[in-house]
Structure 1
């Protein structure tokens, strides 16, 4: 398949209405597009359930690639964490379960319970999360692209990257000059507003680095998609 658009979607964070408006604008076509999602689909936003349903329905859709974000990892770790009643207070406070709840997971937890499908939906989501890759490499129009949720060490091959860096790091977002190679690295995780930029995807360091998190849950935020080949930007209303 000849790729006409190499699309990448930044952090969504449970913002179902914003994602719907974005997806309608993009008009994804599996016969000519590749669309990479950079993770952080849930938490913070108040409509995680319809977003979960959409993603689970599209997990095997041709042309869509879903990556794992730190919020998917927290959801998974919280699910397997020891129940709070079996822990002492301070151990519980620093547990994976409490970490997830304190980082936007509480609204997700509540909405899943309210759906009446909590057990089945959680099981399906966990099974999906555990299959998600942490990163991927694609080639298009003579360039190589690396995609991951948060960060990487540009000096290491993808197979040697540290999981915590891929999910949680911010080194390249804070210091784009650290990457001097030819590969284009595409990241979410760090809202561009926190770095002093306008709420739109940012090409930094002569195009070597692309930042896609436009703070969907922030007052001025949105969900964003970019075609990396043409640098066309699509954003939610």
Structure 2
């Protein structure tokens, strides 16, 4: 069984499709999606369709990102300006330009996303966390909105390694740090969609068009060195 964290998708359905083909998830696998499925990219509707279909293939965990919060708010009748300024216009276009075209299944999907997830060794959040608070006491500001450059997180009191998205990583490289890993590698901006196996630390990156990163073998050697240094620091 694998537990695989997947970073911010932002409407890049071709990237998601390509990544899932490479991962080939099996029924015993658990895929943990770190939020921000919609906005900015061209096909938010297609992304949610794909995620709903995936539920029948393996265990899935869908975290709530700040873009799901904005989209859900607009669907409930809140003022749409902030959402539209942050990629909502692309999402609306993917639904034919009308909120009435958003299917009930998609509305339910947005409502059912969870704020966080935890395993024996790992924690998963969308954006950030407060180091001395358990997951069920984390403030919304940290979970959904706070970037890593707003407040650099200390190691969590649980001792667990934390996986997050939300903060785009420079050049599309995975943010490997001693006590947390950031895998928002800015697919919609021309970089990569990233997945990481949290037990083996094996990782995969695909382009916006769904192609595996060409120089990934070389990069994996570099990443292995970073991992060794991180383990040495943690021990």
What TM-score bracket applies, with the shorter chain setting the length?
0.7 to 0.9
Aligned partners of 2:25 and 2:57 also within 8 Å? no
Structure 1, unaligned runs of 5 or more: 83-94
Does 1:15 pair with 2:18? no
Alignment partner of 2:130 out of 140, 143, 153: 153
- Separation (CA, whole Å) in 2 of partners of 1:210 and 1:190: 11
Are the structure 2 counterparts of residues 10 and 51 from structure 1 closer, same or farther at C-alpha, using a change threshold of 3 Å? same
Q: Which residue of 2 aligns with 1:226?
A: 196
What is the CA distance between 1:66 and its match in structure 2? 0.9
Q: Do residues 137 (structure 1) and 137 (structure 2) align?
A: no
Whether the 8 Å CA contact 2:31–2:58 is kept in 1: the answer is no
How many residue pairs get aligned? The number is 206
Alignment root-mean-square deviation, CA: 2.0
Match of 1:73 among 38, 44, 69: 69
Greater shift, 124-133 or 167-176, is seen at 167-176
SS in 2 for 1:179: coil
Distance 1:201 1:37 in 2: 16
Residue from 179, 202, 208 that aligns with 2:155 = 179
Retained in 1: the 8 A contact 2:127–2:147?
Answer: yes
2:186 aligned partner: 215
TM-score by length of 2: 0.80
What's the CA shift for 1:52? 1.8
Change (3 A) 1:60 1:133: farther
Matches of 2:148 and 2:175 in 1, distance apart? Answer: 16
Structure 1 CA distance, aligned partners of 2:173 and 2:26?
A: 23
| Aligned residue among 162, 165, 173 for 1:200 | 173
Counting only pairs closer than 5 Å after superposition, residues 10-89 of structure 1 correspond to structure 2 as 10-31=7-28, 33-59=29-55, 61-82=57-78
User: 1:229 offset after TM fit, Å?
Assistant: 1.2
